[in-house]
Structure 1
């Protein structure tokens, strides 16, 4: 059964309510699709044609792309938006969330992909259970330098100024940002770059959920925890570098699966 209220690409969103019977609800994140990694793109397109083709819904929780400098810079031969639109045409609703690499995805891409852009975080209901969805970088509160950078680039004025520049200048600026980010990460511990336990607990309490799904950290796992004295679950989606990562919720059961990337 598909979403009882799938929402629209533009305008007010209705509550998102799903049943995973007879088809599962699927979640992916951190594909980091880029021309330099064609195996990941091939695996993603194959996934859309196979596993996702009969899903109740597909959620992409950020970093679909390695970098995104504006919808107007999307390559004319990009296969991703048409493939997503084809999946949507089969009756599978697609929901997209910004990541730290592709937070400039806008209405034009979502229209081309026939995908609904979600705010972050978003609360949905699956099999009568409230579930909270987000990319995950906002949970890494120990990394104060990154959080300051995140606040800067998520500012509407900053984004408008960046997008007003010529594409060539945006490419150069994005390259510089990625280089500085890589240098900064090299000097940080794994703990600092991981999601903070207190931030996780507070987020789940604030949204009154026992299940949180996110990506960003590239550390796929099903974590059992206690929220408000009750059993809870934090599901972390994996990246698509060495293998694909998919969360399948089927009849109320959550399963993290891996997909092979053919080189």
Structure 2
């Protein structure tokens, strides 16, 4: 049956080989049978540059490239952890980088897709940090630092992010419904797919008197999370992690 697959928030890292194994199995056994695969950000725990000679990065690139060469296109939207993935890695992986917000046609239903962090407008501190880290000149400077220095900076940011989350309420870190509706209206659609919050669910609501839908992808910390959308239905599915 025709279907399109979506994943996000795997946070791949050398310290979690079980997630990497599950991802590679998914790419080998499932992705090639889909019409397309969309990765909505935070595939990696962090990204310090396309020039990092990581075994993990090469494994991921090879898996994407095999999928796209087999006839299933791979599309990527940056997350808040891997927003500096660039054209070099995309070319190696045979994947297409998409803008932050993208409308796609899914079997006749126009759908807005994004990572989702921009929807969390109640978290003012994070939104300030997000604006700063997206500055082109700052990224340019960062990518010209030695790899070891970049790694240290990335580790420091991860630590501060973890401590910050412990101090914030779950409500603040979730999406703002008003921002969800604003984005849908701007895009002229009634359906949104995103990740980032790690709260997999399918939300039904009314938007300007018409039925609307928000589909949220899950993370891969304790199980795999895959969204499968076909012509007639959308289904959130889980996958076991081995090891």
Instruction: State the 1:23 CA deviation.
Output: 2.4
Map of 2:105 onto structure 1: 125
- Alignment match of 2:47 (pick from 54, 68, 79): 68
Task: Single out whichever of 249-258 and 214-223 deviates more from structure 2.
Answer: 249-258
Counterpart-to-counterpart distance in 1, 2:83 and 2:232: 31
- Alignment match of 2:26 (pick from 47, 50, 55): 47
Map of 2:216 onto structure 1: 236
Mapping for residues 129-208 of structure 1, pairs under 5 Å:
129-208=109-188
Instruction: State the 1:186 CA deviation.
Output: 1.0
Task: Single out whichever of 66-75 and 187-196 deviates more from structure 2.
Answer: 66-75
TM (norm. structure 2) is 0.98
TM (norm. structure 1) is 0.90
1:203-244, CA deviations, whole angstroms, 9 ceiling, x for partnerless residues? 111111111000000000000011121001100000001000
CA RMSD of aligned residues (A): 0.9
Map of 1:6 onto structure 2: none
Q: Give the gaps of 5 or more residues in structure 1.
A: 1-21
CA contact (8 A) 1:205 1:228 kept: no
Counterpart-to-counterpart distance in 2, 1:172 and 1:86: 32
Instruction: State the 1:76 CA deviation.
Output: 4.5
Counterpart-to-counterpart distance in 2, 1:76 and 1:177: 23
1:25-55, CA deviations, whole angstroms, 9 ceiling, x for partnerless residues? 0000001011100011110110011111110
Map of 1:110 onto structure 2: 90
Instruction: State the 1:81 CA deviation.
Output: 0.4
Counterpart-to-counterpart distance in 2, 1:125 and 1:183: 39
- Alignment match of 1:36 (pick from 10, 15, 22): 15
- Alignment match of 2:231 (pick from 232, 248, 251): 251
Counterpart-to-counterpart distance in 2, 1:76 and 1:61: 22
Counterpart-to-counterpart distance in 2, 1:123 and 1:79: 29
Q: Quick check: 1:261 aligned with 2:229?
A: no
Task: Single out whichever of 216-225 and 75-84 deviates more from structure 2.
Answer: 75-84
Q: Give the gaps of 5 or more residues in structure 2.
A: none
Instruction: State the 1:179 CA deviation.
Output: 1.0
Counterpart-to-counterpart distance in 1, 2:25 and 2:160: 34
1:125-178, CA deviations, whole angstroms, 9 ceiling, x for partnerless residues? 111111000000000000000000000001101100111111111011111111
